[in-house]
Amino acid sequence: MEYKIPLFDLNFDEKEGLAVAEAIKDNWISTGPRCKAFEDRFAGMLNVNHAISTSNCTVSLHLALKLVGVEPGDEVICPSLTFVATVNAIRYVDAVPVFADVTSYENPVIDPEEIRRKITPRTKAIVVMHYGGFSCDMDAIMEIANRHGIKVVEDACHGPLSEYHGKKLGTIGDVGCFSFFSNKNISTGEGGMLVTNSSELSERSRLLRSHGMTSMSYERAKGHSTAYDVVELGYNYRMDDIHAAIGLVQLDKIQADLAKRAIVRKLYLEKLASIGGIIVPFSGYTEFSSNYIFTIVLTDSTFAKRDRVREQLAEAGIQTSVHYPAVHRFSIYKEFYTELPVTDYLVDNLITLPMYSKLQKFEIEYISENLMTIIK
């Protein structure tokens, strides 16, 4: 189906193509100088000591859990309202996901009180996910973690440059992970980044990212090293210079893109204010946000009603989605199932509306008018 208004529109132009062509022309397309430049610029924009580029955010999450010492049988507290990769990474290290509910329909991020209740002697880490680019209560979460000696991994795939009390998301816990998938604020097609303020974790992540080797191909090609050792069982989780070249162009655009997204969100909030029967999560949020997605929650609703609303929006040419199906309901996670009443209602009644910087005022009005008519 072709939509009048798609869910997402890629923020690409000829600059990305030229950057890729230049990378190929320079005759080095695997991990090399562009990856280093991308890492350095990203670290600078987040004011964090170290950024390590990876092939995607899922492997960043896997590395993060290895770095903070999660071992087989350990418990890791996590949300269920997230993309499944957040939880899959916990299983990659043979740890046990302990699902925690979110705070409320208005604030659908992991609830610190749920974390507090679910800590046991086996708890090794907490994985938080900053939903839509809006922060979890990191003061409360870090206080809990520090009190119990638990590590914190931030899944900040929705939140490049989003802030919490003046700090960039991803830089508050022990390790932060970012995604550059095709529909993210910063897109390289596939790609990810791991950030940390710890030099020790940074050095180990670079080893694990590239087979546990003490030097990489680009270093040896430039004569900085002629041999290497393998000191740890690592992986091939590297980004390449073609993706990094795209990433550098995307970093040039990100500030302007986020400023426009903030305007789009403000227009949405104005137009939806008069519509009864919906909640707009984070409507009172005052910190800077990447505004990765724009979601609403139907009140006094059901799964079937939500889907009928989505179907009628589609008939009007408006593409929508659901972020996300609950991970604790997936067949593969049935042994870890637990009751999460707030999450369960949300995933049955959430609708993700179009959100991107090119969205025009008349399109937001069209979406809002159709939504009002359908709900009435």
Q: Which domains does the chain have, with CATH numbers?
A: 14-250 (3.40.640.10), 255-375 (3.90.1150.10)
Average pLDDT on 10-26 reads: 96
Check if the beta carbon of residue 328 is closer than 8 Å to that of residue 308: no
- Residue 376 C-beta-side C-alpha neighbours within 13 Å: 8
Tens-place pLDDT, residues 54-67: 999 999 999 999 99
Both tokens of residue 305? 């009603």
Q: With bands split at pLDDT 50, 70 and 90, how would you rate the model's confidence at 101?
A: very high
Distance CA(280)–CA(298), nearest Å, equals: 9
Does position 244 have pLDDT exceeding 70, yes or no? yes
Instruction: Residue count of the chain, please give it.
Output: 376
Average pLDDT on 254-260 reads: 98
Does position 188 have pLDDT exceeding 70, yes or no? yes
Q: Which residues pair with 154 in a beta bridge?
A: 128, 176
Does position 165 have pLDDT exceeding 70, yes or no? yes
pLDDT of residue 2: 85
Average pLDDT on 142-157 reads: 98
pLDDT of residue 214: 87
pLDDT of residue 372: 97
- Residue tagged 């900085």 (tokens): 224
Both tokens of residue 157? 């795939």
3-state secondary structure at position 90: helix
Tens-place pLDDT, residues 191-229: 999 999 999 999 999 999 999 998 776 665 666 667 889
User: Which of these ranges, 101-115, 221-235, 362-376, has the smallest mean pLDDT?
Assistant: 221-235
Nearest alpha-carbon partner for 115 in 97, 141, 95: 141
Q: With bands split at pLDDT 50, 70 and 90, how would you rate the model's confidence at 90?
A: very high
**DSSP calls for 8-63:** ------HHHHHHHHHHHHTT--SSSHHHHHHHHHHHHHHT-SEEEEES-HHHHHHH
- Residue tagged 């100088």 (tokens): 33
Q: Which residues pair with 213 in a beta bridge?
A: 230
pLDDT of residue 222: 65
State the pairing for strand pair 192-196/75-79: unpaired
Average pLDDT on 133-156 reads: 98
Distance of alpha carbon 247 from the chain centroid: 16
